[in-house]
Amino acid sequence: MAKHDFTDRVLVLTGATGGIGRAVAALFYDSGARLYLIDRDADALAALARELGADPQHASADKNERVLSQGLGSARVLTDAMDVSSAAAAETAAARIEAAWGGVDFLVPAAGIYPVAPLADMTDEQWRQTLAINLDGVFYLTQRLLPLLRPGSAIVNLSSMAAHRGALHNAHYSASKGALLSFTRSIARELGPNTRVNAVSPGIIETPMVAELLKTRADESVAQSMLKRLGQASEVAAAIAFLCSDDASFITAQVLHVNGGLYVS
């Protein structure tokens, strides 16, 4: 996997213990970055930090604790077990990131859920939960981190092939990912030239999130792919790292498809 020189640059990553999130964390850590890893499970975050080779240092999600312990800013990896759909939690995370490292170079809000529900059976709660995690959470954290984005920073949002062609029995997921594309283009207009904003739209990637889908549609997806295989999380991570890197210094407001030719837009 290609590496970039991200030495001491700060990555904020949500959905860190998911399939794609773990691959992003590993690539950026190997490239020298400092990582602020966000997910719901504190134990899983600590295990991930250890896998990366770092001493797990957890930032509590208590919104009233604004001061980090002395010396925490020297850490390579900080973890934060939080609900990304909470605006208050996003505000607290921003305060801790500022206290530890003073600013942010890369933001990759990769947290997301992929529920299955035909439109006729979809409940209001399923709709609301999907948009809260997949869309609202991206807004909350991005907006709270705006004052911390350093010159030359980059945001890479995680959309989906479903945003472009629709998704069978996943209209709520597809809608959330389609909205992310519009959000990406809009904030790119606002944040340039200080910050570049792009999106990656993966196809069928072999991760735990789509395990149920693969039980019935893996063969079909492989057959329809131009490359005749499923995608790997490391391939999505490589695309994200490229968009964060100086190699993509003149790229903003764009979407990069990573789907093996399963969908052509």
> So which residues are the catalytic ones?
173
Alpha-helix runs per DSSP H in 102-170: 124-131, 137-145, 162-165
Q: Which residues contact 177 (CB under 8 A, 6 or more apart)?
A: 134, 159, 160, 162, 163, 201
Separation of alpha carbons 130 and 128, rounded Å: 6
Nearest CA to 265 out of 220, 209, 199, 206 is that of 199
Instruction: For residue 208, give the DSSP letter.
Output: G
Residue 131 to residue 126: CA distance in whole angstroms: 9
Token pair in block for residue 243: 């968009």
**Residues near 211 by beta carbon (within 8 Å), at least 6 away in sequence:** none
Order across the sheet with 77-81: list the strands: 77-81, 34-39, 10-14, 104-109, 149-158, 195-202, 255-258
The C-alpha angle with vertex 134 and arms to 102 and 168, in degrees rounded to 5, equals 155
Measured between alpha carbons, how far is 34 from 6 in angstroms, rounded to an integer? 8
- Report the distance separating Cα 224 and Cα 78, nearest Å: 41
